[in-house]
Amino acid sequence: SRYYREVLPGEIVKISRYDVQTLDVVPRPEGDPSAFCIFEYVYFARPDSIFEGQMVYSVRRRCGQQLAIEAPVEADLVSTVPESATPAALGYAEKCGLPYVEVLCKNRYVGRTFIQPNMRLRQLGVAKKFGVLSDNFKGKRVVIIDDSIVRGNTISPIIKLLRESGAKEVHIRVASPPIRFPCYMGINIPTKEELIANRPEFHDLANYIGADSVVYLSVEGLVSSVQESIKARQENENNLKTHKSRVGKIGHCTACLTGEYPVELEW
C-alpha cells in the first residue's frame, strides 16, 4: 500500500524495495517547539506542497486575507506580478471585495533571441519579461500584491511600467514581513546591507520605488495565517481523544524577520 505523508521533524525513515518504515523519532529537547522555516510558506515552496498538514497555496491565500485586514486601501482592482503572489492577491481581493484583474502577462518568448521585444518595452527596462494588459487598468487605482520585497530593485520598473501604461495610482502590499536578518540555517539571504529593510530608503520606501503607498504584512499576521489551521486541527484531534493528550507546541522559525534564532549561534 503506497502512502505519502510528511517526514516528521527528527524522524528516521528506512525506505526499501519492500516497504517504508519509521525506525525512530528523535525527541526534541524538553519543551522546545519545532522551528519550521516560515519563509517556506511565503516564498520557497511550490503552492501545491503540503507542510504540517496544510497546503501552501491555502496559507498564502490566508496571508492575503490578513493583509487586507491590516492594510486596506481605496482602489479599483487588485493584481500581482505573475505569478508567485497570485494566491495572496486572490485572498486580498476577496477580503476587500475588489475584483482581481491581471495587469501584466509573462512573456513566453524571453530568452529566444530571434524575437526582439518592441522598442517601447525595451526602453521601459522591465522589457522582455512582461507584457502590459493596459485595457484592464487604464485610469484606475491598482493594488499590486507582492510576496516579498527583498532588495527593492525588481518592483520599481514594474511600477513605472504600470504608470506609463495608464494606471492612476499604484499601491504595493507585501504578503510577508520585511526581511531584516541573515539566515544561518542554510537559506542564502542577501547581506544585511543589501536588504532594503535595513537601508535608509526603507523609511520612505513608497517614494523610493515610485508607489503611492507600501505596506508589509506584520509578523503576527504571518504567524497567525500559518498557524490558524494547525491549531484548529490540533484542537479537533484533542476533542476526539477521551483523555487529554498534550499536543506538541507549534513553532516556526522567524529569525530572518525578527532576529530571534531557534538555536544558539556559536561563533
The torsion angles phi and psi of 37, rounded to 5 degrees, stand at -60, 115
Residuewise pLDDT in 10s, the chain (267 residues): 566 788 888 899 999 999 999 999 998 877 788 899 999 999 999 999 999 999 999 999 999 999 999 999 999 999 999 988 999 999 999 999 999 999 999 887 655 444 455 555 444 456 568 899 999 999 999 999 999 999 998 899 999 999 999 999 999 999 999 999 999 988 888 899 999 999 999 999 999 999 999 999 999 999 999 999 999 888 888 887 655 444 456 799 999 999 999 888 776
How far is the C-alpha of 62 from the C-alpha of 217, rounded, in Å?
A: 11
What class has domain 54-220?
Answer: alpha beta
The pLDDT, as a whole number, for residue 113 is 43
The torsion angles phi and psi of 234, rounded to 5 degrees, stand at -65, -40
How far is the C-alpha of 215 from the C-alpha of 202, rounded, in Å?
A: 11
pTM for the whole structure: 0.87
The C-alpha cell that represents 5 in the structure block = 505523508
CB 198 within 8 A of CB 23: no
- Any alpha helices (H) in the chain, and if so which ranges? 38-39, 56-70, 86-96, 119-123, 155-164, 205-209, 219-240, 255-258
The torsion angles phi and psi of 239, rounded to 5 degrees, stand at -65, -30
CB 209 within 8 A of CB 202: no
How far is the C-alpha of 9 from the C-alpha of 252, rounded, in Å?
A: 12
Secondary structure class of 260 (helix, strand, coil): coil
How far from 133 is each of 16, 111, 137, 138, 167, CA to CA, in Å?
Answer: 52, 21, 8, 9, 11
How far is the C-alpha of 162 from the C-alpha of 96, rounded, in Å?
A: 22
How far is the C-alpha of 107 from the C-alpha of 29, rounded, in Å?
A: 50
The pLDDT, as a whole number, for residue 3 is 67
DSSP state of 100: B
